[in-house]
Structure 1
């Protein structure tokens, strides 16, 4: 979509600083062409409100063929990261998506010819998982409702569902697990120690996140998908 095309690469931008402030590692951000930065992204509270402009992290929502079907915007505070808003702009709804989202996702890593995939809700949550599992193909569906409807690639053998620790996350994980198993795909739910995997990364640290995930992964995936440590 045009907004994504108008944005600039992530490296060296406020958007990269925002993600690093959320604890995301440089390894997790390597090869994340689905993420870009817009210096002056339009924002308004409602249809009758005046336009504002804020810097924003722009994420491409794609189908299984890599075609962009929508974009997700996270408006950022130009003053930088803070412990209250965690770097998001001081606006009513700092996250919004537009376009065709159902079934699609923000994707990191290969999308075709893969046997293992991790899927979850938020971009930051899934980049946190990628920080510990840099070789794991990742899909962020953006919400619990969209996670239940995510389309899975042909040939997938094992799906890791990175649930958020709330009621909506429980329901989404259960629903997606049932759909995957009905399609003959092994489904394994990954559970955070705190409310989500980004909280685990920020509060508990990468070593603790890795230790938690190591206990939940299939043994054959630990060595090939998890960074040493």
Structure 2
């Protein structure tokens, strides 16, 4: 039985055939296969290395997704369980291939038959499938994790859920396992789930899981965000947009009435699309170079839309660090000095 790393290596040996099969909307350009995204859309955001030491590695410049060809099989086929991913990879490796035309056949759905209808599962559909497998946050390991970080009312947010055993794959070694995870729904302006963000947790309750990258996103993040206290219908005249999930949850802890979004990364913060009717947009960035990039990018976007951008700055590295180390009262004092007077009066306790 081939291991995960063996399967990835086998797929990488014939990387172009894998791309022609699963990403048939793309094309070869030099030493790369170029396509729009893992949903096999036309475009040039996603690229796969076809030669050299990184053969079989891929990345999507628009969504920051990346991995090897086993991850690519998972994403393009909309699979969640590793067993299903491995079965699909094994079927492909056993499939006879005579050339590019044959690679455009539908995916093998069983050992001895072909489904004549190609299966295309957009990233948003895969994210919704994972979110549907979660359970309410209250009383779970994820709820405890956030409480230890000073965020006491996270279970009131419908965007946050818990998965008791979420699939995780090490992108370097190929080793697969599962951990409990905090799952956050990424949504568009009308509330449709376009992606999810996963934070894998230590099963013994000791913070995040001991893995190289305990946070990963799946699906469409660009222009979207995790939303808190955000109305689906009607204008949003005043709101906060920030980078990290826990940083925004810390702000929501002391300003529960303010609509807020977490764009998850500085690049995605810069690309966030403010809602209709927004008049004042507070941009909450982290105190580092990436955070400044997100603040500047979103501020320019807001100004172009006629929205007044106002920056909220933490005293320490981010607002969760402020909440944990300085306390809620000190955090509110810092925010009161930065908010417009009418917002401070309406949203913060006297």
Counterpart in the other structure of 1:105: 225
Counterparts of 1:25 and 1:32, CA distance in 2: 11
Cα offsets for 1:2-29 (capped at 9, x unmatched): 1110000101100100111111132xx2
The SS at the match of 1:216 is coil
Is the 2:137–2:155 contact (alpha carbons within 8 Å) kept by the matching residues of 1? no
Alignment length (residue pairs): 221
Q: Counterparts of 1:57-136 in structure 2 under 5 Å?
A: 57-81=182-206, 87-111=207-231, 112=233, 113-136=235-258
| CA distance, structure 1, for counterparts of residue 345 and residue 145 of structure 2 | 30
Determine the C-alpha separation between the residues in 1 that align with 2:250 and 2:173. Answer: 37
Aligned equivalent of 2:269, options 147, 168, 172: 147
Equivalent residue number for residue 157 of structure 2? 32
Query: RMSD over aligned Cα, in angstroms?
Result: 1.2
- What residue number does 1:221 align with? 343
Report the alpha carbon displacement of residue 31 of structure 1 after superposing the two structures with TM: 3.1
Match of 2:282 in 1: 160
Instruction: Find the structure with the greater CA-based Rg.
Output: 2
Whole-Å Cα distance in 2 between the matches of residues 62 and 106 of structure 1?
Answer: 6
1:137 matched to which residue of 2?
A: 259
Match of 2:139 among 1, 4, 12: 12
Q: Secondary structure at the match of 2:342?
A: helix
Cα distance in 1 for partners of 2:197, 2:251 equals: 19
Offset of residue 47 of structure 1 = 7.6
Q: Is the 8 A contact 2:136 2:155 kept in 1?
A: no
SS of residue in 1 equivalent to 2:246: helix
| Contact 2:185/2:196, CA 8 A, preserved across alignment | yes
CA change 1:189–1:14 in 2 (3 A) is same
> What pairs with 1:183-222 in structure 2 (closer than 5 Å)?
183-222=305-344
Q: Distance in 1 between matches of 2:151 and 2:138?
A: 13
Q: Which shifted more, 111-120 or 2-11?
A: 111-120
Name the residue aligned to 2:90: none
Aligned residues of 2:138 and 2:155 also touching (Cα < 8 A): no
With a CA cutoff of 8 Å and minimum separation of 6, indicate the structure with the bigger relative contact order: 1
